[in-house]
Amino acid sequence: MKPLHYTFIILGEIPVKKNNYRVSYSGGVYTDRDVKDTIEDITNQLAYARKRPKPSLDKEFEMKVDIFTSNPRKDLDGMVTTLLVCLQKAEIIKNDNLLVHEENRKHIATSAKAIIEIALIHFYDALAG
């Protein structure tokens, strides 16, 4: 039996959500509309790429991410955090606190995209229980 494994390719720049918080006139905190739209687009790309129904990962998982960006100043951890939010919203993972191992790399490129690989750590244990 083949382990539960996902590979996704996300097209476009990955925003760093935490760097885009703004304070409103009333003192509240919000995210710019364009950042919200980009995060929604990434979530939709993930949900569409999932295609056939697979269960959400509700056990410990590992993730490998290669992010291609045109901006060398972008924070890698911030982009990965945004991707984890999108993976959770797309119901691919149940909770990002189940991530136990990650390998992330940032590449400077003219064409922006992200390649995400996710797999269960203890696949056969997950089948049993």
pLDDT at 53 over 80: no
- Using one digit for the tens of pLDDT, what is the confidence trace for 5-51? 789 999 999 999 766 666 767 877 767 888 899 999 999 999 988 77
Looking at residue 85, its pLDDT comes to 93
Residue 66 exposure: Cα atoms within 13 Å on the Cβ side: 9
Contact 105, 66 (CB under 8 A): yes
What is the pTM for the complete model shown? Answer: 0.83
Q: Which residue ranges form the domains of the chain, and what is each CATH number?
A: 5-128 (3.30.1330.70)
- Using one digit for the tens of pLDDT, what is the confidence trace for 54-106? 667 888 899 999 999 999 999 999 999 999 999 999 999 999 999 999 999 99
What b/e string do you get for 29-50 counting C-beta neighbours within 10 Å, with b at 16 or more? Answer: eeeeeebeebbeebbebbeeee
Joined tokens for residue 10: 């996300």
Please name the residues in contact with 126: beta carbons below 8 A apart, sequence gap of 6 or more: 4, 59, 120
Looking at residue 21, its pLDDT comes to 64
The SS3 call for residue 98 is helix
Looking at residue 3, its pLDDT comes to 62
